């Protein structure tokens, strides 16, 4: 492999390779992409990767069986944009030198695109073709193949290992980072306050660790954050109030027994019910005005109906059971009938005259 000194990308992912990464690859200094994910490679992550392959933009060793700590020489990869060591057996602390990843410190989008021109010979004819590199990337909880993503995505994924200790403050200086996944490790202490500086973050997963303390208020300033998972830690106190943090599903905070406040149903100790101030309309409380407007309610109509029914049957019943009154009542009905008859006859007469005209 080391004799391929002009090679620039190496894809050997999703095979059944075992053993260690051959040290002869250190001679391939033109490599800008290595993807060895999804194999059964063992041993430690070689320190010579950081010492010799300093042009790397993508380094993916995900889903293997690497052990030991992350070598500090990795921090020499100042052009790295995608670093994926997820789902291995790595242990020890996260190196404090991640701020040396210069491409991730820059907040502006990178212009890096891995593409190549190559020649194809058809007898006497030569055709120039272009090849654009792609990569497998776990993005917002889903694994997909992405083409020409390197100008947009800057990602670190160390999830599914046995890393311990605290999250280094230097991680907060990676202001161009778009995705950070440190979930399913054994990280302790607090979530660093410096995470609020990472304004470009769209996905942050710190779930299934041993993180404690309060959620830093700086998280509420991450306006691009679309995926957040802080579940299954030991976080406590009230979730900071902001439009951003309250918009996430409660599952993003579950498994933190001492965490309280919206969007969780658990209220914080001493939390008071917020009473909205009155809205004045023409100098009068709008709520009082609405109550006045609602004077004629359902109860009002029921009362009117009951009163009418009671009064009607009081008078009508008296007429029915009292003979003189009953006689007068029927005479009254005859008068009404005669009056209706006369009015109808006159109307018909007038209608006939108009039709004759």
pLDDT in tens, 280-300: 555 555 555 544 444 445 555
Domain boundary among 239, 260, 281: 260
What's the CA gap between 226 and 308, in Å, rounded?
A: 63
- For the chain, how many structural domains are there in total? 2
For the chain, how far is it from start to end, CA to CA, in angstroms? 116
Average pLDDT over residues 15-30: 96
Banded model confidence at residue 41, pLDDT cuts 50, 70, 90: very high
Distances (CA, A) of 65 to 45, 92, 325, 332: 10, 15, 107, 106
Number of other residues whose CB lies within 10 A of the CB of residue 203: 21
Position with higher pLDDT, 353 vs 201 = 201
Asked if residue 282 belongs to a domain, the reply is no
Do 217 and 87 share a domain, yes or no? yes
Do 346 and 233 share a domain, yes or no? no
Position with higher pLDDT, 178 vs 116 = 178
pLDDT at 21: 96
Helix pair angle (298-321, 323-356), 10° resolution:
110
CATH number at residue 139: 3.80.10.10
Asked if residue 113 belongs to a domain, the reply is yes
Asked if residue 246 belongs to a domain, the reply is yes
pLDDT at 355: 62
Average pLDDT over residues 308-325: 56
Strands (E), 297-339: none
Banded model confidence at residue 270, pLDDT cuts 50, 70, 90: confident
Q: Give tens-digit pLDDT for 190-231.
A: 999 999 999 999 999 999 999 999 999 999 889 899 999 999
pLDDT at 130: 52
Domain boundary among 260, 282, 310: 260
Do 189 and 338 share a domain, yes or no? no
pLDDT at 345: 60
Do 326 and 194 share a domain, yes or no? no
Do 204 and 339 share a domain, yes or no? no
pTM above 0.75, yes or no: no
Asked if residue 129 belongs to a domain, the reply is yes
Q: Give tens-digit pLDDT for 153-174.
A: 899 999 999 999 999 999 999 9
Q: Give tens-digit pLDDT for 105-142.
A: 987 655 555 555 565 666 666 655 555 565 555 555 55
Asked if residue 301 belongs to a domain, the reply is no
Do 339 and 238 share a domain, yes or no? no
Domain boundary among 232, 260, 288: 260
Residue 242 has pLDDT above 90, yes or no: no
pLDDT at 296: 47
**What is the extent of the structural domain holding 86?**
9-260
User: How high does pLDDT run on average in the chain?
Assistant: 80
CB 181 within 8 A of CB 159: yes
CB 206 within 8 A of CB 182: yes
Q: Give tens-digit pLDDT for 258-269.
A: 999 999 998 888
CB 78 within 8 A of CB 84: no
What's the CA gap between 96 and 348, in Å, rounded?
A: 106
Average pLDDT over residues 80-106: 94
Residue 303 has pLDDT above 90, yes or no: no
Position with higher pLDDT, 235 vs 276 = 235
């Amino acid at each position: 492999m080391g004799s391929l000194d002009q090679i620039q990308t190496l894809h050997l992912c999703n095979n059944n390779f075992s053993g260690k990464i051959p040290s002869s690859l250190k001679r391939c200094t033109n490599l800008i992409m290595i993807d060895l994910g999804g194999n059964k490679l063992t041993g430690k992550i070689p320190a010579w990767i950081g010492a010799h392959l300093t042009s790397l933009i993508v380094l993916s060793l995900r889903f293997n069986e690497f052990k030991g700590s992350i070598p500090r020489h990795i921090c020499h990869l100042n052009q790295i944009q995608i670093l994926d060591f997820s789902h291995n057996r790595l242990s020890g602390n996260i190196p404090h030198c991640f701020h040396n990843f210069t491409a991730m410190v820059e907040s502006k989008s990178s212009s890096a695109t891995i593409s190549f021109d190559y020649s194809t010979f058809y007898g006497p004819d030569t055709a120039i073709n272009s090849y654009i590199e792609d990569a497998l990337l776990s993005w917002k909880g889903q694994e997909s193949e992405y083409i020409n993503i390197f100008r947009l995505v800057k990602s670190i994924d160390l999830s599914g290992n046995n890393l311990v200790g605290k999250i280094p403050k230097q991680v907060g200086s990676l202001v161009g980072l778009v995705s950070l996944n440190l979930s399913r490790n054994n990280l302790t202490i607090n979530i660093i306050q410096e995470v609020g500086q990472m304004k470009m973050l769209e996905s942050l997963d710190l779930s299934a660790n041993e993180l404690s303390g309060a959620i830093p208020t700086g998280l509420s300033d991450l306006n691009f954050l679309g995926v957040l998972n802080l579940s299954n830690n030991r976080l406590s106190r009230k979730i900071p109030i902001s439009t951003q943090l309250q918009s996430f599903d409660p599952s993003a905070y579950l498994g933190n027994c001492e965490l309280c406040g919206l969007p969780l149903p658990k209220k914080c100790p001493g939390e008071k019910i917020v009473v909205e101030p009155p809205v004045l309309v023409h100098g009068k409380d709008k709520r009082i005005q609405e109550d006045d407007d609602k004077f004629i309610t359902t109860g009002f109509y029921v009362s009117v109906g009951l009163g009418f029914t009671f009064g009607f049957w009081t008078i009508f019943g008296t007429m029915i059971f009292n003979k003189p009154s009953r006689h007068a009542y029927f005479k009254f009905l005859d008068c009404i009938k005669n009056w209706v008859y006369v009015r109808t006859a006159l109307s018909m007469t007038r209608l006939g005259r108009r039709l004759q005209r």
